[in-house]
């Protein structure tokens, strides 16, 4: 899932200015991490109105990154959008850009910061898992991605700074190399760690379009 965090309300306020504004949320990732579902959209509407900013309308897109769905859903709110000067998008950075493609005469405000592609650990906790690098390396590492989970992206780790399984940069962070070592040991596959992993081919991460 794409994990987002709502921007600080003061920052949103200063971007919205005097409005009027239309609010667009998203019913998938942003709803799951509590940044852009109906509840958050309505709460944002209320908060803006309390600051005397006119909210011309709102919608929860299905999902915001879907261009064709957005086209249809935004059309159904055409009049409300027409009355707005700005559109505040409560989705990931992708959703905001998809809306920007369609609402070409409106100022687009992204109300969230997009953090990572991650796991829903529990309803209120999300953890980074994937860097979208274009060439999955998990097979060599017991199913854990050092490129993403090691702050130094070491493919031939560990770096030597971890202590009792915790990363040197934060005691909150598990050393993924410690984990990889323990997992491969359990699976009797430690020999794999003696192979020198070659530098990654980043040309795979340059794809801009995929067609099927």
**Nearer to another protein (CB atom), residue 49 or residue 201:** 201
CA dist., res. 139 & res. 78, Å (int): 49
Q: How many residues contact another protein, by CB under 8 A?
A: 30
What does 102-158 look like in DSSP terms, one character per residue?
A: H-TTSEEEE-EEEEEEEEEEETTEEEEEE---SS--GGGGTT--HHHHSTT--SS--
Residues 43-62 that bind another protein (CB under 8 A): none
Q: Which is nearer to another protein, 119 or 168 (CB)?
A: 168
Neighbours of 145 (CB within 10 A): 19
Is residue 20 within 8 A of residue 84, CB to CB? The reply is yes
Please report how the helices 67-75 and 93-102 are oriented relative to each other, as an axis angle in degrees rounded to 10: 60
Q: Which is nearer to another protein, 98 or 162 (CB)?
A: 162
Nearest CB to another protein, comparing residues 136 and 169: 169
User: At its nearest, how many Å lie between another protein and the CB of residue 168?
Assistant: 4
Q: Supply the minimum distance, in Å, between the C-beta of residue 151 and another protein.
A: 5
CA distance 162 to 176: 10
- Binding to another protein in span 125-184, by CB under 8 A: 151-165, 168-169, 175, 178, 181-182
Closest by CA to 117, choosing from 155, 168, 65, 67, is 65
Give me the least distance between CB of 154 and another protein, in Å please: 4
- Binding span for another protein by CB under 8 A among 14-22, 38-46, 107-115, 199-207: 199-207
Backbone phi, psi, residue 169, to 5°: -85, -20
Residue 191 or 209: which CB sits closer to another protein?
A: 191
Closest separation between CB of residue 164 and another protein, Å?
Answer: 7
Binding site for another protein (CB under 8 A): 151-165, 168-169, 175, 178, 181-182, 190, 193-194, 196-200, 202
């Amino acid at each position: 899932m794409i994990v987002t965090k709502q921007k600080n309300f003061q920052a949103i306020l200063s971007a919205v200015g005097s409005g009027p504004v239309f609010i667009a949320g998203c019913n998938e990732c942003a709803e799951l991490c509590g940044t852009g579902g109906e509840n958050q959209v309505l709460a944002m509407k209320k908060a803006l109105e309390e600051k005397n900013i006119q909210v011309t309308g709102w919608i929860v897109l299905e999902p915001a990154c879907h261009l064709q769905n957005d086209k249809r859903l935004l059309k159904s709110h055409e009049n409300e959008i027409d009355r707005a000067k700005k559109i505040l998008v409560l989705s990931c950075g992708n959703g905001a850009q998809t809306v920007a493609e369609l609402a070409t005469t409106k100022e687009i405000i992204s109300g969230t910061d997009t953090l990572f592609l991650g796991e829903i650990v529990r309803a209120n906790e999300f953890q980074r898992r994937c860097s979208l690098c274009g060439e999955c390396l998990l097979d060599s590492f017991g199913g854990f991605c050092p490129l993403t989970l090691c702050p130094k992206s070491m493919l031939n780790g560990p770096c030597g700074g971890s202590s009792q399984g915790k990363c040197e940069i934060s005691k909150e962070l598990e050393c993924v190399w410690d984990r990889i070592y323990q997992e491969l040991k359990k699976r009797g596959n430690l020999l794999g760690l003696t192979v020198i992993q070659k530098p990654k081919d980043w040309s795979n991460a340059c794809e801009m379009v995929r067609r099927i």
